[in-house]
Structure 1
Amino acid sequence: MWPVNDWLRELSRVVLVDRTLTDVLTDITRIAARGIPGAEATSITLIRDDKPFTAAHSGDMALAADELQYEHGYGPCIDAGRGGVPLLVDDMCTEERWPDYVAHLLATTPVRSSMSVPLPYQGSFIGALNNYSTRPSAFSAPESLAAGQDVAEYVAVAVANADAHWQLGEQARNMRLAMESRAVIEQAKGVLMAQRKVDADVAFEILREASQRYNRKLRDIATRIVESVVARPR
C-alpha cells in the first residue's frame, strides 16, 4: 500500500486529454486499489439515468461482484452509489442485508468482505468506489474507510473531468463528421449540376428525393454519386 500522498500524486498524473473515459478510469482504478488497505480488487460503479454499470475495474473478482449486484438490482455498490453512504461488509458468510446477492456471491466468487464508498460530486453522488477482498474483515480498520473516502473524492472529480473531456472529444468528432458530410454533399451537387445542367437548389432537391426514395441517408447518396464519377474510366 502506498502512503496517501503518494497515490494521490499518482492519481493527479493520470492523463485525461485525448483518451477514452474507460482508459482513464482503468488507470484511476488500478492506482486507487493500491492505496486502500485490504483491497485486492477494485471497481468504479457509475450510475447514469438510474442505471448502474461498472465503468472500470482492477481484478476480475470486482467485476464479477458488481455484475451480480446489477443482476439482482441491489447490493452494497448500488446502495452506496444511490444513497451516498459508505457500506462495509465484514463477512459475507454472516451478512443479512442482501440475501440473494450474497448467496450467489459466495457460490461463485472468493469475495468474503467488501467496502463501497460513494463518489460525491456537486452535492450529489455519481456512483461508488468498490473494494473487495478474499479475507473477512479486510476493511475493518478505520484507515481503510478513511483512505477509501480520500480516494473517492479524488476519483469523483477525475471521473467528472474525464467525462467532460470525452464529451468534448465526441462533440469534435461529430462536428468533423458533419463537415465531411457537408463537403461530400456539395461535391455531389456539383456533379449533378454539371451532368444535368441544373442549379444548386435543384441539385440538392434531386439528392433529397433520392434519399427519401431509397430510404438512405443523404450523405450515403452523395457519396455514391461522387464515387461513381471518380471510378469512371477516363
Structure 2
Amino acid sequence: MTEPPVDPAQALAELSRIKLDEISLDDMLRRVATLANRSVPGAREVSVTLVRDRAGWTAAFTGDLARELDERQYEQNRGPCLDASASGDTISLPDMTVEQRWPQWAQRAREVGVGSSLSIGLPIQESVVGALNVYGGTANAFDPPAIAVAEHFAAYAAVALANAHLYDSAATLAEQLREAMRSRAVIEQAKGIIMGERRCTPDEAFALLSKISQDTNRKVRDVAEALVARVVQRTRV
C-alpha cells in the first residue's frame, strides 16, 4: 500500500530526530529513501547509490524498479547516478524520449514506465560518495520547485548519511579494538603459562605459540585460547 505524501519540512524534521546510536546505517539509508519518495513532488520511486573505489551499489530503494535502473548503470559503468555521485551535482533527465547522454539506459527506463529522473550528488566523505535518485512516472515530472525540494532534502540527507557513516565506522573500529584487546589478553595468558612450564622468556613463549599456529594452520589467538582452556580445565579437576 502506497504511503501518503509528507510535507518536506516534516520529512526533514523526522530525519533530525533520528538518533544514530539507535539505528543502523542500513536503516538510515532506507529512511532517507522512503522520506524522499514521500516528500519530493512527482516521485514514483527513490534509491540511494553509494560508490566506493569506483564500485557503485544501491544501498536503499523504495521499489524494484529503482534498483533495476540503478544496477543497469553499474553494469555499464555509466549513467546519471554515477555521474552525480562523482560530481556532487544535480543531473536532471526531464524527458527520457529525447535523452541522448545515456540512450540505452533511457530506453530501458521508458520500457519500465519511467519518464524522467533526478540524480542528486551526496558528498558523504572522501572515500564514499553517493547520489539520491528520484524516478518519475511521466516526462517532466519534476518542475523547478520539485527539483528545489529534492536538492534541499538531499543536502540535509547528505549530512545525516555522513554522520551515520562516521558513527557506523567508529562503532566498527571500537569493536575491532575490543577484539584486539581480547586477543592480546588471551595470548599474554598463554605466554605466561608457557613461561611457567618451560622457564623461558616471553619472546620464546610467543615463538612457540607462533610455531604451533603455523603447524596446525590456526590463528595464534585460537592456539592461545585452547591452551588457556586446557589449563583451566586441569585446575578444576
1:37 aligned partner:
41
Pick the aligned partner of 1:114 from 112, 117, 120. Answer: 117
Identity %: 42
- Whether 1:85 and 2:85 are equivalent positions in the alignment is no
- Whether 1:223 and 2:221 are equivalent positions in the alignment is no
- Inter-partner Cα distance in structure 1 for 2:107 and 2:68: 14
Deviates more, 1:204-213 or 1:32-41: 204-213
Paired AA for residue 56 in structure 1:
A
1:105–1:111 CA contact under 8 A, matched in 2 = yes
| Displacement after TM superposition at 1:44 (Å) | 1.4
1:29–1:43 CA contact under 8 A, matched in 2 = yes
Pick the aligned partner of 1:58 from 56, 62, 65. Answer: 62
- Whether 1:135 and 2:145 are equivalent positions in the alignment is no
2:125–2:162 CA contact under 8 A, matched in 1 = no
**Structure 2 length-normalised TM:** 0.86
Q: How many pairs are equivalent?
A: 231
- Inter-partner Cα distance in structure 2 for 1:112 and 1:77: 16
Q: Which runs of 5+ in 2 are unaligned?
A: none
- Inter-partner Cα distance in structure 2 for 1:30 and 1:149: 16
| Displacement after TM superposition at 1:122 (Å) | 8.0
- Aligned structure 1 segments of 4 or more residues deviating by more than 6 angstroms: none
1:84–1:118 CA contact under 8 A, matched in 2 = yes
- Inter-partner Cα distance in structure 2 for 1:195 and 1:122: 52
| Displacement after TM superposition at 1:189 (Å) | 2.1
Paired AA for residue 138 in structure 1:
A
- Inter-partner Cα distance in structure 1 for 2:183 and 2:15: 40
1:46-103 per-residue CA deviation (whole Å, 9 max, x = no partner) reads 2222332222222222111111111111111111222333222233233222022223
2:159 aligned partner:
157
1:143-171 per-residue CA deviation (whole Å, 9 max, x = no partner) reads 11000110111011111111110111011
1:92-134 per-residue CA deviation (whole Å, 9 max, x = no partner) reads 2332220222234444x332321111224689x9321100122
| Displacement after TM superposition at 1:18 (Å) | 5.2
Q: Which runs of 5+ in 1 are unaligned?
A: none
